Amino acid sequence: MGPDPSTQATPEADRLVEDVLDGRTEAFAGLVRLYQETIWRIAAVLLRDRDATENLVQQVFVDAYLHLDQYEPGTDFGAWIRTVARNRLRKELRTASREDRRLATYRERLTQRLRAEAGTGRDDADSYLAALEGCREALTARDALLIRMRYERGMSFEAIAARQGQTPEAVQRMISRIRVRLRGCIEGKLADT
Q: Per-residue DSSP letters for 122-145?
A: ---HHHHHHHHHHHHHTS-HHHHH
Largest CA distance in the chain: 70
Do residues 133 and 190 make contact, with C-beta atoms less than 8 angstroms apart? no
Distance from C-alpha of 77 to C-alpha of 83, rounded to nearest angstrom: 10
pLDDT in tens, the chain (193 residues): 444 444 455 899 999 999 999 999 999 999 999 999 999 998 888 877 788 889 899 999 999 999 999 999 989 999 999 999 999 988 888 877 777 777 778 778 877 777 776 665 455 677 878 888 888 888 898 998 998 888 888 888 888 888 888 898 999 999 999 989 988 888 888 887 6
H helix runs in 25-156, sequence order: 28-47, 50-66, 77-118, 125-137, 141-147
Choose which CATH entry (3.40.50.720, 3.10.180.10, 1.10.1740.10, 1.10.3720.10) describes domain 5-94.
1.10.1740.10
Which pLDDT score is estimated for 9? Answer: 57
Distance from C-alpha of 70 to C-alpha of 143, rounded to nearest angstrom: 41
Distance from C-alpha of 17 to C-alpha of 95, rounded to nearest angstrom: 30
CA atoms within 13 A on the CB side of 58: 6
Domain segments of the chain as ranges: 5-94, 124-192
164: three-class secondary structure by DSSP: helix
The model scores a pTM over 0.85: no
Which pLDDT score is estimated for 34? Answer: 94
The count of other CB atoms within 10 Å of the CB of residue 56 is 24
At 57, give phi and psi (nearest 5°).
-60, -45
Which pLDDT score is estimated for 110? Answer: 77
Q: Which CATH architecture has domain 124-192?
A: Orthogonal Bundle (1.10)
DSSP state of 169: H
